[in-house]
Amino acid sequence: MTIRLGDIAPNFTQDSNEGPIDFYEFLGDSWGILFSHPADYTPVCTTELGYTAKLKDEFSKRNVKAIALSVDDAESHKGWIQDINETQDTTVNFPILADQDRKVSTLYDFIHPNASETLTVRSLIIIDPNKKVRLIITYPASTGRNFHEILRVIDSLQLTDNYKVATPANWQDGEDVVIVPAIQDEAELKERFPSGYKAIKPYLRLTKQPNRT
């Protein structure tokens, strides 16, 4: 099965280090991050899971729940988590799915045959409260994920869901944003963007971040 942007993320029930998890029940009305790992006791993944744990407060204030996946069993996960807590000076505070049967990996297209017939690639999916897939990123096994970028994307998605704006290249929370081209009526522009805007080109108009003014 191939997952694409805009698809409804499929539900599943799978074991984890915290017991069986129904994915939709776990997410509730939160945003979700589902990210895969090739196997337990792998060095790059150890740093990624540790850093994810350290971002708990950042995720919480954005109403985001993290859930990881590895193809080893739940008991193996528990041992690995002890290593993660020790080496990364943190406490893993989210579940790791035990996907021995590759059920979830197959459902979410986390196994790429040209990379490995059996192990998952380093993929990450962001899912919104309507269970819609909003971001898919796949990294090579040698490259750890950039979780600052993940937070940036979540900030952008949540902002642009609520306002008629888009975020430009390298945008960070608090910086100017782009008014979507569909808004042309001056009365609507004044109502939506009372701080005004700067028209660099008719199609390129910058304004202050609406929820910061």
Q: Say if CB 96 and CB 70 are below 8 A apart.
A: yes
Report the pLDDT value the prediction gives residue 115, as an integer from 0 to 100.
Answer: 45
Report the pLDDT value the prediction gives residue 146, as an integer from 0 to 100.
Answer: 94
Digits of tens for pLDDT over the chain (213 positions)?
Answer: 688 999 999 999 999 999 999 999 999 999 999 999 888 999 999 999 999 999 999 999 999 999 999 989 999 999 999 999 999 999 999 999 999 998 998 899 887 554 444 455 578 999 999 999 999 999 887 889 999 999 999 999 999 999 999 999 999 999 999 999 999 989 999 999 999 999 999 999 999 999 886
Rounded Cα distance, 12 and 98, in Å: 12
Rounded Cα distance, 53 and 188, in Å: 43
Report the pLDDT value the prediction gives residue 113, as an integer from 0 to 100.
Answer: 52
pTM for this predicted structure: 0.91
Domain assignments of the chain as residue spans, ordered by start: 13-145, 163-212
Rounded Cα distance, 163 and 210, in Å: 7
Q: CATH topology for 13-145?
A: Glutaredoxin (3.40.30)
| Residues 6 or more apart in contact with residue 64 via CB below 8 angstroms | 30, 31, 32, 33, 154
Closest Cα to residue 49, out of 75, 82, 76, 9? 82
Rounded Cα distance, 126 and 137, in Å: 9
Domain 163-212: homologous superfamily in CATH = Antioxidant, Horf6; Chain A, domain2 (3.30.1020.10)
Report the pLDDT value the prediction gives residue 117, as an integer from 0 to 100.
Answer: 46
Q: CA 31, 85, 94 angle in degrees (round to 5)?
A: 20
CB atoms within 10 A of CB 123: 22
Rounded Cα distance, 85 and 22, in Å: 25
Give the residue carrying structure tokens 């971001």: 135
Active site residues: 45
